[in-house]
Structure 1
Amino acid sequence: MLGSTLMNTDLDSSLDLADQLLQLLREAPDGASEYQLIQQLKSRHSTHIPNLPLIDKLVLFRTHFLVFNALYRLRDRLCEEASEFLQIGPLQIRLLPWQAGAPGLVEADPLRAYYLDESNLRDTTERDVEKLLESFWTRMQGDGEKAAALALFELEDGPVDYALIKLRYRQLVSQHHPDRGGSTARLQSINKAMEILQRYYSRP
């Protein structure tokens, strides 16, 4: 687990997000998931991502975009230096030894142009975010989706059982229900997370 591998010390606030991610990845030789990197950035008080719960769809999108923008910038820089190759996958991100063919891999990545165009962060609408979140949950299938759902419930630290999940679900529904001033989109995210967690924690 990344959390047990990395020391919980503050990141150098003078470093940009790409350098902070490089620091984290160098301390995790087996790699890390996007979720783990985000949690480490938050726990180390990075000022480059929103310090807000990921339960809000716009916060989730902004955090995800900023992290992937920094990862692609970092990968380009490492390739230019011919020092290391950064493997960016949906469930694992890790540093690999430099290989001569690495630049071709960067050019072939269809996501690179999207994340390096910061207008996509500025111009993406709420409807666009909803579509992207559907893709996010698809990419997070398996342990990734469980971790992401627990993060939405703010239950990623410590032991979790189904009774605690149900309690947290009721609290979040009460807090974010549209009848109480919440948003329908946020309630849908809560319901989706509950649907996922039921598969892992409820008993037949």
Structure 2
Amino acid sequence: MNDDLEPEQDLAEQILLLLREQPDGCSEYELIQQLKARHSTHIPHLPLIDKLVLFRTHFLVFNALYRLRDRLWGECSHHLQISPLCVQLQPYVPGTSGITTGDPLRDYYLDMTNLRDTDEAEVERLLASFWSRMRGDQVGDRSGDWDPEQKRAALELFELDSEPGLDMAAIKRRYRQLVSIHHPDRGGSTTRIQSINLAMEILQRHYR
């Protein structure tokens, strides 16, 4: 289904609509891509390669998720699992799925001043954390399998399309370009290089 989301809908309502279509849940990255594909006007429609775009998109989505979780619990209709790797509507179970008091993540994402006041250094740290999660726990996994979401995220960071003609030679050329652009000696940052290296590691496993 590729229908546009209603522009007057709140982001939380748009997310609820998408999650109802996916009872098994989805990752944060997949949810963002679906919002973009359905032309949501509530998130930036720009590549996640830009660290400020990545942070703003992530924050807006998680703000909506925590608002939605509070609402669904108040309505006694669902519990909402919130994780970068799995966002899922779950059955409402009184006494077991309630909102945890003193939840620091909920408090952080519901405070919109954090969206306004987070500086570039903090965004760099969050970016490195995002790519570490995308890398996951599969280092040393002998099966050699990586989640497709990791592959898509890495390709987006490299601004490459997953097309039949894409090969390791093209990926390496793009990798060298990105390293040259973002190297600390040229005004880049160590955390950005780390993100590029982690994405390259993911793509090497997919295209080796």
| 1:1-204 aligned within 5 A | 7-102=1-96, 104-107=98-101, 109-140=103-134, 141=136, 142=138, 143=147, 144-155=149-160, 158-159=163-164, 161-170=167-176, 172=178, 176=181, 184-185=188-189, 188=193, 189-202=195-208
Alignment-mate amino acid for residue 53 of structure 1: P
Identical residues among aligned pairs (%): 66
Q: Return the alpha-carbon distance in structure 2 between the equivalents of residues 40 and 158 of structure 1.
A: 20
Report the Cα offset of residue 148 of structure 1. Answer: 2.0
Q: How many residues matched?
A: 193
RMSD: 2.6
Question: Alpha-carbon deviations, 1:37-67, whole Å to 9, x = none?
Answer: 1001111111101110000111101100000
- Give the structure with the higher percent helix: 1
TM-score normalised to structure 2 length: 0.80
Structure 2: gaps of 5 or more residues: 139-146
CA, structure 1 residues 114+153, in 2 after alignment: closer, same or farther (shift >3 Å)?
same
Secondary structure at the counterpart of residue 76 of structure 1: helix
Secondary structure at the counterpart of residue 84 of structure 2: coil
Q: Return the alpha-carbon distance in structure 2 between the equivalents of residues 112 and 36 of structure 1.
A: 21
CA, structure 1 residues 108+197, in 2 after alignment: closer, same or farther (shift >3 Å)?
farther
Structure 1: gaps of 5 or more residues: 1-6
Specify the alignment match of 2:142 in structure 1: none
Alignment-mate amino acid for residue 47 of structure 1: T
Specify the alignment match of 2:141 in structure 1: none
CA, structure 1 residues 154+29, in 2 after alignment: closer, same or farther (shift >3 Å)?
farther
Q: Return the alpha-carbon distance in structure 1 between the equivalents of residues 44 and 105 of structure 2.
A: 22
Query: Is contact 1:87-1:94 (8 Å) kept?
Result: yes
Q: Return the alpha-carbon distance in structure 1 between the equivalents of residues 162 and 32 of structure 2.
A: 14
Q: Return the alpha-carbon distance in structure 2 between the equivalents of residues 68 and 26 of structure 1.
A: 17
Question: Alpha-carbon deviations, 1:151-175, whole Å to 9, x = none?
Answer: 212446545542342344356567x
CA, structure 1 residues 187+133, in 2 after alignment: closer, same or farther (shift >3 Å)?
closer
Query: Is contact 1:173-1:187 (8 Å) kept?
Result: no
Report the Cα offset of residue 109 of structure 1. Answer: 3.6
Report the Cα offset of residue 191 of structure 1. Answer: 4.2
Specify the alignment match of 1:3 in structure 2: none
Q: Return the alpha-carbon distance in structure 2 between the equivalents of residues 28 and 131 of structure 1.
A: 31
Q: Return the alpha-carbon distance in structure 1 between the equivalents of residues 163 and 80 of structure 2.
A: 31
